[in-house]
Amino acid sequence: MLLLYHSTSTKQVPIPRSIAIDPDKEAYETGSPFINKAGMHHKIKFIPSDAFLILDDLIQNGEEGSFDFILVDAYKSDYLKFHELTLKLVKIGGIIAYDNTLWYGSVAESEKEIVDDLINKFRNFVIEFNGFLAANPRVESSLLSVGDGLTLFRRLY
């Protein structure tokens, strides 16, 4: 799931202020009743698709630097690729959030200590992503020890 928010309307999203993208419709349907209850349905456009396609479209359609906030919670092996695209779409000073950046605490453990295959499978991608962000001069970032780790960063230029 990716969520992109902008405070001003654009030609792509004239009324809804947020775009939620996930190829799995069920993921959106789980959250939809809560969105309705909060009276926010008209402000969120759901696109059942692979986010890579939509982000490319948004860039092609001149939406670079137009979003205030982007949340990424997808396959950890894709985080670096998403970073390249989301950094283009967020405005300077805008915030991007990536979920699960502690990856069950495994990023701070040695490989030998980890018995779970799923955790092992994505651990190195998360470590690589965290290292890349920490060394990236274009962003100011902070990894919050909330839940499974949430990295927030601000685009500096």
Residues within the interface to ligand SAM (CB under 6 A) = 1-2, 21-24, 27, 50-52, 73-75, 78
Q: CB of 31: closest distance to ligand SAM in angstroms?
A: 8
> Which two three-digit tokens encode residue 110?
């040695």
Q: CB of 127: closest distance to ligand SAM in angstroms?
A: 18
- Pick the closer one to ligand SAM by CB: 4 or 74: 74
- Pick the closer one to ligand SAM by CB: 30 or 93: 30
d(Cα 88, Cα 108) in Å, to the nearest integer? 30
The residue with its CB nearest to ligand SAM is: 51
| CB-CB neighbours of 25 under 10 Å | 11
Q: Give residues with Cβ within 8 angstroms of 93, minimum separation 6.
A: 154, 155
- Pick the closer one to ligand SAM by CB: 57 or 140: 57
Residue 94 backbone dihedrals phi, psi, to 5 degrees: -75, 165
Amino acid at 125: F
- Pick the closer one to ligand SAM by CB: 1 or 97: 1
Q: CB of 14: closest distance to ligand SAM in angstroms?
A: 23
Nearest to residue 1, comparing CAs of 16, 18, 13?
18
Task: Give yes or no for a contact between 63 and 10, defined as CB atoms under 8 angstroms apart.
Answer: yes
- Pick the closer one to ligand SAM by CB: 2 or 70: 2
d(Cα 68, Cα 80) in Å, to the nearest integer? 20
Q: CB of 93: closest distance to ligand SAM in angstroms?
A: 25
Q: CB of 90: closest distance to ligand SAM in angstroms?
A: 17
